[in-house]
């Protein structure tokens, strides 16, 4: 099957672009953004992914303001033939200038949630190391990812009000990833397996003139499966963005220490330690200001999970008060928190994404979903 992109010299295999190099049914190609105020007064998240072997394109938009409910829009459809068609019902993503400018629109719809937002990059796209995780003999993840920092302008409307999004205030993180990971309905048959443990910490932080970023995958004993940290310049506009490889400084080592809210798996505070190749170090502490539940973008959602077949076209929505949620329910443990960051001399802002399933010895978690001790 041919795609419009097949007219460009971009092929990586003898197959047309529409055919991934792997036949794994869990192959995906995802675009994700967040936007937030540094003071934690609001946060919104955006996601869209295509699953070629499942023939599904789905999306989500979710927003929360401090002291208010989190509002969620979900959409799903049969995947279009053309990969450039990034639209599900009233929701669409427009790539205005690759890796520099994008537009996200959610037209008025039955959920009462809408937006018109313009993204402008403020740093080069930063490629994270290839992330390969195994569960027994099976690849649980094999993905490539890049992160990018920027700003948003536009508007967001939701059932409880709205947000005027000003690019002098609103920070942004973009995350593009593709490869294989667990999505959609699980495969059946074969021997039963116990629930899979997971520990993931992701910390993109913005400072006055640069960014820091850290990624952690740990095993249940806290041993690193994948870790990396880096620093890169932050620019005044997308026009000033320079080559990523020349501008990015990789850390020699990076580590974390998380303190959890009692009875939950949510961070109360965290410290990130960077050791650079020249022997210098940097210790960053982060203080959570606002919590956003990633189920609002389909992660671990019991009915709007990513990659699930919902029919030729389906949209849905919900609103919830995060303070009323069961903190240890599976669908609620995956969160991002808007954070204030300090390194002793400077103040920054960003997000701390976290999910911890199963035993995790450094935190004192012994069961699949027990909370931190008081």
Confidence band of 243 (pLDDT split at 50, 70, 90): low
Residue found under tokens 């971009």: 10
* Cα–Cα dist 179/27, whole Å: 5
| CATH number assigned to the domain covering 24-179+196-363 | 2.40.370.10
Between the ranges 16-20, 96-100, 284-288, where is the mean pLDDT highest?
284-288
CA distance 354 to 348: 19
pLDDT attached to residue 10: 86
Q: Distance of CA 208 to CAs 234, 256, 304, 344, Å?
A: 8, 23, 38, 14
Helix spans in 165-312 (H): 244-247
Given a contact cutoff of 8 angstroms between Cβ atoms, the answer to whether 327 and 284 are in contact is: no
Residue 246 has pLDDT above 70, yes or no: no
Query: What separation in angstroms does the CA of 341 have from each of 67, 211, 310, 337?
Result: 22, 11, 40, 12
Cα–Cα distance measured from residue 226 to residue 198, given in angstroms and rounded to the nearest whole number? 12
Provide the token pair at 62: 């979710």
Distance of alpha carbon 291 from alpha carbon 353, whole angstroms: 10
CB atoms within 10 A of CB 30: 21
Question: Does residue 170 contact residue 37 with C-beta atoms inside 8 Å?
Answer: yes
pLDDT of the residue at 30: 96
Give the bridge partners for 185, in sequence order: none
State whether residue 333 is helix, strand or coil: coil
Mean pLDDT of 339-362: 97
Percentage of the chain surpassing pLDDT 90?
78
Average confidence (pLDDT) over 14-37: 92
Report the pLDDT value the prediction gives residue 107, as an integer from 0 to 100. 98
Number of C-alpha atoms within 13 angstroms, CB side, residue 168? 0
Query: What is the pLDDT, as a whole number, of residue 141?
Result: 78
Identify whether the C-beta of residue 180 lies closer than 8 Å to the C-beta of residue 139.
yes
pLDDT of residue 245: 60
Identify the pLDDT of residue 82.
92
3-state secondary structure of 4: helix
The model's confidence at residue 62, banded by pLDDT at 50, 70 and 90, is very high
290 versus 128: which is more confidently predicted? Answer: 290
Q: Is the pLDDT of residue 101 over 70?
A: yes
Distance CA 351, CA 158 (A): 22
Give the model confidence (pLDDT) of 117-155 as tens digits.
999 999 989 888 888 877 777 777 788 889 999 999 999
- CB of 77 closer than 8 Å to CB of 312: yes
> 183 falls in which pLDDT band (50, 70, 90)?
confident
Asked whether the predicted pLDDT for residue 188 surpasses 80, the reply is no
CA 191, chain centre distance (Å): 32
DSSP codes joined into one string, 191-211: S--PPPPEEEEE--EE-SSEE
Q: Which residues share a beta bridge with 275?
A: 253, 281
* pLDDT at res. 343: 96
pLDDT exceeds 70 at position 244: no
């Amino acid at each position: 099957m041919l795609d419009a992109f097949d007219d460009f010299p971009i092929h990586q295999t003898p197959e047309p672009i529409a055919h991934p190099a792997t036949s794994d049914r869990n192959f995906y190609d995802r675009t994700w953004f967040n936007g937030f105020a540094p003071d934690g007064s609001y946060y919104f998240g955006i996601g869209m992914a295509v699953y070629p072997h499942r023939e599904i394109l789905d999306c989500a938009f979710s927003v929360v303001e401090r002291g208010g409910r989190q509002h969620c829009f979900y959409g799903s459809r049969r995947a279009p033939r053309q990969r450039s068609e990034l639209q599900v019902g009233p929701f669409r993503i427009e790539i205005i200038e690759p890796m520099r400018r994008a537009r996200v629109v959610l037209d008025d719809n039955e959920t009462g949630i809408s937006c018109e937002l313009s993204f402008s990059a403020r740093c080069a796209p930063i490629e994270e190391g290839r992330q390969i995780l195994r569960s027994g003999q099976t690849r649980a993840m094999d993905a490539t990812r890049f992160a990018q920092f920027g700003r948003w302008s536009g508007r967001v409307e939701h059932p409880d009000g709205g947000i005027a999004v000003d690019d002098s205030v609103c920070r942004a993180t973009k995350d593009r990833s593709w490869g294989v990971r667990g999505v959609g309905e699980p495969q059946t048959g074969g021997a039963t397996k116990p629930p899979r443990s997971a520990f993931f910490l992701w910390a993109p932080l913005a400072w006055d003139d640069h960014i820091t970023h850290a990624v952690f995958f740990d095993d249940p004993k806290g041993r690193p499966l994948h870790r990396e940290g880096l620093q890169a310049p932050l620019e005044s506009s997308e026009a000033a963005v320079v080559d990523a490889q020349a501008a990015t400084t990789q850390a020699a080592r990076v580590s974390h220490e998380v303190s959890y809210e009692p009875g939950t798996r949510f961070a109360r505070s965290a410290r990130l330690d960077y050791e650079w190749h020249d022997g210098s170090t940097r210790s960053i502490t982060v203080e959570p200001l606002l919590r956003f539940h990633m189920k609002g973008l389909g992660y671990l959602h019991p009915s709007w999970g990513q990659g699930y077949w919902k029919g030729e076209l389906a949209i849905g929505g919900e609103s919830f008060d995060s303070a009323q949620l069961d903190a240890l329910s599976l669908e609620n443990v995956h969160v991002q928190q808007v954070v204030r960051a300090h390194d002793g001399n400077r103040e920054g802002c960003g997000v701390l994404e976290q999910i911890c399933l199963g035993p995790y010895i450094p935190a004192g978690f012994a069961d699949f979903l027990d909370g931190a001790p008081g």
